Amino acid sequence: MTEGLHLRKKVTQEDENEFLDEEEQEKLLKELSEQNDSANLSIQRGLVTVGFILLALFFHVLLQGDQNVIVPISQLYTPTMIKIQSPQIASACSILSILLSIVTLILSSSLPVIPFAPIQTHEKNTLFGYAALVTAALPILQSIQSNWIELVFWSLPAFLIVMYYSAYTMIHQVNKGIMELEESKYRYKGA
């Protein structure tokens, strides 16, 4: 009887090392996941900040009214007047596009980009994303006949959407990789 107890208590060095390896893996995966979440949150907050800066540019144009409005980004080179027929409508569309893009990013995030913002799944926010694309396209279509600096200015909301989508895709791929890593530890002993 005592021999059975003695054999049960006996743990080989291999088993002990394997247990420590699994424990270390768990710790490393947890640290990796936490670092990834922190980096993702910083990226998403930075993207939202860029969106708000663009909002300020388009609100500036919107509030100019019917005056001769200079393209805000053209002041870096040669000040250029806005030549499209209705800059207020184009500004309103751009503002709406940027707001819809920000909302889509916030609601699609698995992290609280803005405190107290609800977290939803990607599928529920597709409509916001499409609406952002349509409202971004309208000013671009209006400005096709104007000069290149104005076309670039009215394309900024579309560039923002591309930035948001690229970041979202990258974040999603990295999260998927981390989830696959976590799943692999259960499939392969010592993996």
Q: What is the arithmetic mean of pLDDT over 64-75?
A: 80
- Report the distance separating Cα 186 and Cα 38, nearest Å: 25
Q: What local confidence, expressed as pLDDT, does residue 160 receive?
A: 97
The helix, strand and coil proportions of the chain, stated in percent and rounded to the nearest 5, come to 75, 0, 20
Mean pLDDT of the chain: 81
Mean pLDDT of 30-48: 88
Q: Which residue has the higher pLDDT, 171 or 25?
A: 171
Spatial distance between the Cα atoms of 79 and 91, rounded to a whole number of angstroms: 18
Of 176, 157, 190, residue with least CA distance to 110: 176
Residue 185, pLDDT score = 66
- For the record, the structure tokens of 76 come out as 């870096």
Q: How confident is residue 187, by pLDDT bands cut at 50, 70 and 90?
A: low
Q: Confidence class of residue 178 from pLDDT cuts 50, 70 and 90? A: confident
Q: State the average pLDDT over residues 123-128.
A: 74
Decide if pLDDT at 175 tops 70. yes
- DSSP letter (8 states) at residue 77: S
> CB neighbours of 165 closer than 8 A, spacing ≥ 6?
129
> Residue 96 has what pLDDT?
98
Strand partners, 70: 81
Q: Work out the burial of residue 129: count CB atoms within 10 Å of its CB; fewer than 13 is exposed, 13-18 middle, 19 or more buried.
A: buried
3-state secondary structure of 70: strand
Q: Is the pLDDT of residue 20 over 50?
A: no
Report, as an integer, the average pLDDT of 76-85: 85
pTM of the model: 0.77
The mean pLDDT value for 22-35 works out to 82
Query: What is residue 143's three-state secondary structure?
Result: coil
Measured between alpha carbons, how far is 116 from 102 in angstroms, rounded to an integer?
15
pLDDT of residue 155: 96
**Contact present, 151 and 140 (Cβ < 8 Å):** yes
> What pLDDT, in 10s, does the model give residues 103-117?
888 888 766 666 665
Region 32-48: what's the mean pLDDT?
88
